Chain A
Amino acid sequence: MTGEVKAGHLRVEDVAAYIDRGDAAEQRARVEAHLATCAECRSEVVTVARLARSFRDRRRWLVTAPLAAAAAVLLLVFAPWQRGRDRSELVLREPAVTTTVAPRPLAPLGAVAVLPRLLWTSVPHADRYRVTVFDGNGSVVWETLTTDTLVAVPDAVAVSVGVPYFWKVAARTSWDRWVVSDLTTFTLGAPRPPQ
């Protein structure tokens, strides 16, 4: 174990010491003189140096890769440019529909002089509306389907004066999915006499 190079080939400790540069200059020169003439030992030194380096690099990568990934995540989450940003500026299109609002009856409400048409608010993505008018007993007086948000009550529908009626509108937002408005009441008063 003195580090003396034998006439044959380098010993294990000589190869390891040469790669780790643990030898004094004199011993190193002796090893190099041998390596310059011995292809087999030269090949061993080169191969072991490669192996040691690749293993070191691999271990470094195994250690640093998760740390780098964690650092990247933290950077994305807590980055300064993420903090002071006005979120409203980011809205480039209308938000996706996650909850559906029901249509809201606008007219007629309460006491009305005439009954020209029924009007309600629109519902996003609704492709049709079903309007139903009930009498005071809950019987359906009239019902219709439309794609618009207003509909005229036909003359054939007899609406008595001074009698409360109820109506509601349902909007279809997708296949067999309907959202229904609250039940709204109106009472038709006597038409004013012409002035």
Chain B
Amino acid sequence: MAAALPFELSRLFQAPDGPARDDAWANFVAAHSRLLLHVARSLSPDHDAAMDGYTYVLERLREDHCRRLQGYVADGRSKFTTWLVVVARRLCLDFHRHRYGRPRDSTPDAAAEQAARRRLADLVAGAADPDQLAAPVADPALSAQVQELHETLAAATARLDPPDRLLLKLRFNDDLSAREIAGVLGLPTPFHVYRRINVLLDVLRRSLKQRGVEGVEP
């Protein structure tokens, strides 16, 4: 499973201090600059902010004798470029949090509420401003029934295999397209995603029926 370290990386690690290391670093930057810029731009549409993020990533990658880069192990599990995308993206996120602070309402609850309001706004065809929508009135009995329904569904879902659970999450929680789900899960085509979802929904339906749930109404 072992794979060779990329040439520019091994050259960087083996270079002695001084001009040779500077040269090796310049070689590394030249080899991966496009990729790092691509990542930096994906997180900030503003050109200057993206360039600042790119500079920050380069600084962090170079510090302490390229400590972060030395963390890459060429064990064949992943390509260096994929690994570098993950590292660069995390560094860019750090940079943005450091500069702009954490985004407001980034908690899962707030995101779920926002998503629910967005769906509701879509249902009324944009006639209402989502921010102006009133919060739902809490009915204790109804809430208990909804909670019970959710727990039953969660229990039925928990019995599925991890890839199937992940598939349902990507489709129904994250709103990903079938094509993207196929890409993430390594399925050959989007049709495999649709077919698998149909099978899983059928399994869940039967499982819920066994627990006394016949419809979507609480």
Query: Which residues of A are interface residues toward B (Cβ below 8 A)?
Result: 1, 3, 12-13, 15-17, 19-23, 29-30, 32-33, 35-36, 39, 42-55, 58-59
Contact = CB atoms under 8 A, between A and B. Distances in A.
Contact of B77 (A23, A32, A50, A54): A23
A22 B166 contact: no
A44 to B, nearest CB: 7
Contacts of A21: 186
Given A36-B162, A47-B89, A53-B183, A1 B38 contact: no
A13 B79 contact: no
B90 A12 contact: yes
Contacts of B105: none
- Interface of chain B, helix or strand or loop or mixed? helix
Nearest to B81: A52
Contacts of B34: 55, 59
A13 B174 contact: no
- Interface of chain A, helix or strand or loop or mixed? helix
Interface string B1-33: 000000000000000000000000000000000
B82 A46 contact: no
Contacts of B116: none
Nearest to B80: A16
B42 interface: yes
A39 to B, nearest CB: 6
A15 B86 contact: yes
Interface of B: 34-35, 38-39, 42, 71-73, 75-79, 81-83, 85-87, 89-90, 108, 111, 161-163, 165-166, 169-170, 173-174, 176, 180, 183-184, 186
A13 to B, nearest CB: 6
A160 B73 CA distance: 113
Contact of A12 (B81, B87, B170): B87
Contacts of B166: 32, 35-36, 42
B82 A48 contact: yes
A45 to B, nearest CB: 6
17 contacts: A12-B71, A13-B78, A13-B83, A16-B82, A16-B86, A17-B78, A21-B186, A22-B77, A35-B169, A36-B169, A39-B173, A42-B166, A42-B169, A46-B184, A49-B180, A51-B42, A55-B38
Contacts of A1: 73, 75
B85 A48 contact: yes
A3 to B, nearest CB: 7
Contact of B83 (A16, A47, A49, A59): A16
A47 B39 CA distance: 10
The residue among B71, B78, B83, B173 with the most chain A CB atoms within 10 A of its own CB is B78
Contact of B165 (A36, A39, A49, A51): A36
A86 B161 CA distance: 70
A114 to B, nearest CB: 89
Contacts of A22: 76-78
